[in-house]
Amino acid sequence: MMTAQQGDLMDRLPQVRGRLQSHVSLARYSWFRTGGPAEVFYEPADEADLCAFLKALPPDVPLTVLGLGSNILIRDGGIDGVVIRLGKSLGDIRSDGVDLVAGAGASDFAVANLARDRAVAGLEFLRGVPGSIGGSVRMNAGAYGRDMADVLVAARIADRFGEVQQVLAVDLGFSYRHSALPEGDIVLSAHLRGVPGAPDAIARRMAEISAERDLAQPLRTRTGGSSFKNPPGEKAWRLIDQAGCRGLTLGGAQISEKHTNFLINTGTASADDLEKLGEDVRARVKAMCGIDLEWEIRIIGKAAGGMR
């Protein structure tokens, strides 16, 4: 049922060609399958629809952008304002020689597969990144020794007001699992560059990555990927293991027995369970060795009681 506040917000929003709905559960859009509702949920029809919406959006309305939901924990109280989900409508991928241009909603898997089919090497690592291109650019996602900073030429970015510019990779301030993109900016597409390669060799490397992931990670569970960034010179999973956290549980949340840098929803976890278990792990590692683990998973929204 729509509240008066939700109705008021919907009344203030511009007309769109995409899907604009009130009070949509976000649990289905998170790989953890947890999280409260979006006050308003928007899936743009295309890039032009998105930019027109941003231009007309009242500046006081909070804005949150979601991709595939693989590296995110949405709190149980949900998210105020408008949640924009970039999906298939912004998921086109084009190739020209060793260059690929992928929309923000394209999955990293799909980009890796097209690169293989076009005999473009250097993008195989994307087979090991469970997310979408927009999010991967924002967080400089990577795996198996490479990251987006190694292959990105430039990105098309829309600011909070719908103005679009192309930004060179060298101007994005990339560092380990981080970019300097302002919080309100939205990645629209990414220009990636590989090198010529043999499709068979590319396919073999991608198969190796898939096999390594399947062997080492709890892929068939409700998880959000790596929970914490690796501290300089350390591996987060090793520190977590040494702190005695393998298999640790809280409510329906668990630290994976298979890979200790993965939080798991065993089926009944709330977002609060997952966040509190993660904070418990951070406290135990800090007490053991003095290292502050930094969340790699993005935690957004408000708690069930309404506090952020």
Round to whole Å and give the CA distance between 66 and 71: 10
Nearest CA to 223 among 195, 194, 258, 179? Answer: 258
The catalytically annotated residue of 177, 193, 213, 298 is 177
Is residue 177 annotated as part of the catalytic site, yes or no?
A: yes
The catalytically annotated residue of 226, 227, 256, 270 is 226
Is residue 296 annotated as part of the catalytic site, yes or no?
A: yes
Is residue 282 annotated as part of the catalytic site, yes or no?
A: no
Q: To which residue do tokens 């743009």 refer?
A: 44
Just list the catalytic residues. Answer: 177, 226, 296
